[in-house]
Chain A
């Protein structure tokens, strides 16, 4: 049988236009790269590349501005949603989203995040939850699962000593200002496609002025978890998903 010709009309999938040629600094197999790609695809599909402002956090994804070719601002640790609030209020025609990890959004930035949701700011928070502080060497985060081994809980997280993990998505769902809260993952191709649809819906809702959206992406940190990328995806499915179940948590029509 003839070989498939490498030409434009046969093209099914290529690197999104808005992803730059810079090689990402993330570890091999890191979920960040996949989510970056989804954001780039969605912004391009919505035709908003020239009027989008992303707010990057402190954490591994602090360099997100090197990889997606849109306008960015860099916020102090945890304060991305406060910065996003200002950008959106001053330029309401702009699509404003934050890209934050669990150490940023749900630890040091809890107050800013909860209040941005309560105020119903028309911004989107993309929340990467890998249950660990990845950039600083894999320490326990508030989202770390019970019994999970990290650099600071080498015998596993003990609730008597370290407290219990919490789910900020469910907490935010109680707030009237938060109108779309969903939890997704990118560990399998089907989940990646669903996650893209969720990000697209959140961005569209933000542009329609429907209030605050949170897209939580249950992610891997294979370096922090001390597993291979493929084993991390399996560990995520077996351990993270029972505690952080996937699906829409709240959607106000």
Chain B
């Protein structure tokens, strides 16, 4: 069965760690990093990468436009 998988790339230095993406992810993929970026914010990251479907909910709501979403179909 074909499966659609997604992944995200977070611009870590642009991210402010607001966590709105974490709350918006329907598949509970995201979490905030335990490390901080140059400004002291914990950037968003994929905690459960396999569950990502590439729906882009996180990127759509991100106020700082720091999430890029990719999606691929596997046969």
Contact = CB atoms under 8 A, between A and B. Distances in A.
Interface of A: 1-7, 10-16, 19, 23-24, 26-34, 37, 186, 188-189, 192-193, 228-230, 233
Given A4-B70, A23-B14, A230-B19, A28 B65 contact: no
Contacts of B67: 13
Interface residues of B, number: 37
B61 A4 contact: no
Nearest to B64: A33
A245 B54 CA distance: 31
A28 B20 CA distance: 9
Majority SS at the chain B contact face: mixed
A192 B71 CA distance: 21
Interface of B: 3, 5-7, 9, 11, 13-14, 16-20, 22-24, 41, 50, 54, 56-72, 74
A12 B19 contact: no
A32 B65 CA distance: 12
A233 B20 contact: yes
7 contacts: A1-B3, A12-B6, A15-B66, A31-B63, A33-B62, A34-B63, A37-B65
A214 B36 CA distance: 40
Contacts of A4: 5-7, 54, 70-72
B16 to A, nearest CB: 4
A228 B7 contact: no
A12 B62 contact: no
Nearest to B6: A4
A31 B60 CA distance: 12
Given A10-B70, A13-B69, A233 B63 contact: no
